Amino acid sequence: MNIVRYCCLENVHDKREIILLKAFPCKWGRCSFCDYIHDNSEDEVAMNATNHEVIACVTGKHGVLQVINSGSCFEIPQASLQLVKETVDHLHIRKLYMEAWWGYRHRLDEMRDFFGVPIVFITGIETFDEYFRNQVLKKGFDFNSVEEVRRYFQSICLMVGIKGQTREMIANDIKILLDNFEYATINLYVNNTTGIEADISLQDWFKHEFAWLKNRPGIDVLFENTDFGVGAPEQL
């Protein structure tokens, strides 16, 4: 199955191109809801070949590029990262979005120094409810305060509409987000091959109660996990 790995996001507040690269296995790899890691590989030559084709699609149209993979940016092969850097330099891209698991928080400046442009770092916190985040979703994400998260990451991912969540939990997550972060992606959970299930009634409530979030600068709300245009099978 061929996967869509490039898209130009025109209907977002911060217009940008996005590329989905192949990478080595996720260092954590134990999130109970995630089957994205099936895109990971150990074949570095094949990964770099795929990534070369994807990176070649970047035009620099908006001067902003989001680089994602099924894990953290530190798991992308070095040769692919080098090609992204050459593309950033050649096309005068002025800002990057990249993702990293909490365990990499002390290494983020390595990427900033390597690319030499501002980077909005994203981390998947999913929820600020500690029990649900770590005992149900198995995120391996412990922190002492929201300020500690904000110290390292400018953007967070929240996940909405999972069985076991409550309206109060979600409302609290949104409040913390708005009070502390300039950027965020809010994902409505989509059933996949894992045992974690979506709560459709909770998602319907969220869509009605928080419809206005779609108009909030810096916040992207994804009703499907392919709403960024990547990750879906190519239409042949």
Nearest Cα residue to 111 out of 62, 144, 154: 154
Give per-residue pLDDT as tens, 174-233.
999 999 999 999 999 999 999 999 999 999 999 999 999 989 999 999 987 677 889 766
What is residue 1's predicted lDDT score, i.e. its pLDDT? 53
d(CA 50, CA 76): 12
d(CA 150, CA 132): 20
Band (pLDDT 50/70/90 cuts) for residue 236 is very low
The DSSP symbol for 198 reads: B
> Can you name the residues that pair with 121 across neighbouring β-strands?
98
| Domains with residue ranges and CATH for the chain | 6-222 (3.20.20.70)
**Model's pTM, two decimal places?**
0.93
d(CA 52, CA 32): 31
Band (pLDDT 50/70/90 cuts) for residue 133 is very high
The predicted model gives 62-89 an average pLDDT of: 97
> In the predicted model, what is the mean pLDDT of the chain?
94
Q: How many CB atoms lie within 10 A of CB 43?
A: 12
